[in-house]
Amino acid sequence: MSLSAEQIQQTFEAKGLAPFFTPATLQALTLATQKMLQINETLNLTRWTKDEDVLRFHLLDSALALPVLKPLLGDSQPPRWIDLGTGCGFPGLVFMAAFPQVEISLLDSVGKKITALEDCLAVSELKGVTLVGRVEDAGQDLRYREQYDGVVARAVADFPVVLEYALPLIKVGGYLVDWMTEEQVLRLKDSQKALETLGGEVIQTVDYFLPGSDQKRFYVVVRKTAPTPAAYPRAVGQPSKRPL
């Protein structure tokens, strides 16, 4: 793999993100990313395969959220967060490297993707938990329901759907950080019913740009304010077919 720790470090330094990583954690993140790209040659994990695209659309898009995430980690020992629909492992892998004190779970419904990410964790020695399953089922499972201090969701679904996926998993007082487009943010007001029903409120919206793009992107932070009613999440497929 041509992507190197030096390239990743330079990319992070240019955005003031280098203090989140040590040489060891940066090397671990590099090894995990290289392994993901190697597996991607035979299993479709990501359409971004060129170094500059992986740096921009996976590593940097994830890492720019670290200043937003850090104040949300709380006092739990260890804080428990989950990456919903992790796909090829981002933002979860970046989160693991930046915050090794946090227990990060990678959840995806596709078993082959989770197996691939287990290989990435093994070769890099990043520490994380891997889970295979539908998030609707996880949200009704007492092992996971309201057990997490936070959820990250990147390119998962429209906001009302993400809310129904995520909020049942989060403890009252915990947080959801959702990666959103400008078009999605302009429709935030349409999600008020979902927020009120599921027990959440938007507390922060942070905009950012990726290098070489004039397309504004956003991290939207939701705080869990009340327990989610037992009826949510609804059965598999219902949140996306009939959004709140």
pLDDT digit string (tens) for 202-211? 999 999 999 9
Is 91 part of any domain? yes
pLDDT digit string (tens) for 129-146? 999 999 999 999 999 999
Is 25 part of any domain? no
Q: What is the pLDDT of residue 75?
A: 73
Domain of 85, in residue numbers: 61-241
Helices (H), the chain: 5-14, 23-40, 51-54, 61-63, 66-69, 92-98, 111-124, 135-138, 159-166, 182-185, 192-198, 238-241
pLDDT digit string (tens) for 35-65? 999 999 999 899 888 889 999 999 999 999 9
Q: What is the pLDDT of residue 171?
A: 97
CATH of the domain at 100: 3.40.50.150
- Angle at Cα 70 formed by Cα 77 and Cα 224, nearest 5°? 75
* Mean pLDDT for the stretch of residues 164-188: 96
Is 197 part of any domain? yes
The C-alpha atoms of residue 48 and residue 3 are separated, in whole angstroms, by: 13
The most distant pair of C-alpha atoms in the chain lies apart, rounded to whole Å, by 49
Is 47 part of any domain? no
Report yes or no: 133 and 106 within 8 Å, Cβ to Cβ.
no
The C-alpha atoms of residue 9 and residue 23 are separated, in whole angstroms, by: 9
Is 229 part of any domain? yes
Q: What is the pLDDT of residue 237?
A: 94
* Mean pLDDT for the stretch of residues 16-41: 96
Q: Which pTM was predicted?
A: 0.95
pLDDT digit string (tens) for 64-115? 999 999 999 977 789 999 999 999 999 999 999 999 999 999 999 999 999 9
Is 187 part of any domain? yes
Is 78 part of any domain? yes
DSSP of 137-152: HHTT-TTTTT-EEEEE
Domain count across the chain: 1
pLDDT digit string (tens) for 9-18? 999 999 999 9
* Mean pLDDT for the stretch of residues 181-198: 94
Q: What is the pLDDT of residue 1?
A: 54
Is 89 part of any domain? yes
